[in-house]
């Protein structure tokens, strides 16, 4: 059976379509959804291609996805399988580095790891350039979570801290009203 006949036999859920359209902000996903809606409204494939500015083959591919998996298949994101620039051994070294060392160990005058700092250390150590966005994906792949940097008070020397607080209290000038 050809795709056009199969499309006419499949019911169209306008409410689900609307929810998916608003939930998915990416333009390429919205084009897919729009294409299926236009085809269900009786437009020909050529008319839909002209309206959306896509090729006939692309529209046929979208239609095939829709017929196999419904609207849910249309909103699945595009995933490109690119090989990682870091070897598995380098990735494990990176994980160990992040967990046990600080950026100062690599000549960076910061105490906390950030995406930009990790990227810089990877470039120094492995001679590989990675964008910050790829760093966060890599952290996820390594089972590490990214958190915003914050001050680490746990490493302070309690005795030195107490002396400093006492010094501040002694030298503070009372304000008059």
What is the DSSP-derived secondary structure letter of residue 21?
A: H
126 located within any domain: yes
CB 59 within 8 A of CB 45: yes
Residue 103 CB neighbour total at 10 angstroms: 19
Do residues 67 and 92 share a domain?
no
135 located within any domain: yes
What would the pLDDT profile of 6-38 be if each residue is shown by its tens digit?
888 888 889 999 999 999 888 889 999 999 999
Do residues 68 and 102 share a domain?
no
> Is residue 113 exposed (0-12), middle (13-18) or buried (19+ Cβ within 10 Å)?
buried
Structural domain that includes position 89: 80-148
**Domain final position from 74, 108, 125:** 74
What would the pLDDT profile of 52-103 be if each residue is shown by its tens digit?
999 999 999 999 999 998 889 988 877 767 788 899 999 999 999 999 998 9
> Is residue 36 exposed (0-12), middle (13-18) or buried (19+ Cβ within 10 Å)?
buried
Do residues 84 and 67 share a domain?
no
């Amino acid at each position: 059976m050809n795709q056009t006949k199969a499309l006419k036999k499949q019911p169209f859920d306008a409410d689900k379509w609307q929810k998916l359209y608003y939930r998915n902000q990416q333009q390429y996903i919205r084009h897919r959804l729009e294409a299926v809606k236009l085809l269900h409204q009786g437009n020909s494939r050529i008319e839909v291609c002209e309206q959306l500015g896509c090729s006939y083959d692309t529209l046929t591919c979208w239609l095939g996805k829709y017929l196999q998996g419904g609207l849910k298949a249309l909103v699945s994101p595009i995933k490109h399988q690119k090989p990682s620039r870091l070897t598995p051994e380098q990735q494990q070294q990176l994980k160990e580095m992040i967990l046990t060392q600080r950026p100062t160990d690599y000549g960076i005058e910061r105490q906390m790891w950030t995406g930009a700092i990790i990227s810089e250390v990877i470039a120094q150590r492995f001679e590989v350039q990675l964008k910050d966005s790829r760093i966060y994906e890599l952290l996820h792949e390594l089972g590490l979570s990214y958190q915003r940097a914050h001050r680490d008070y746990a490493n302070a020397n309690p005795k030195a801290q107490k002396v400093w607080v006492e010094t501040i209290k002694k030298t503070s000038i009372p304000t008059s009203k």
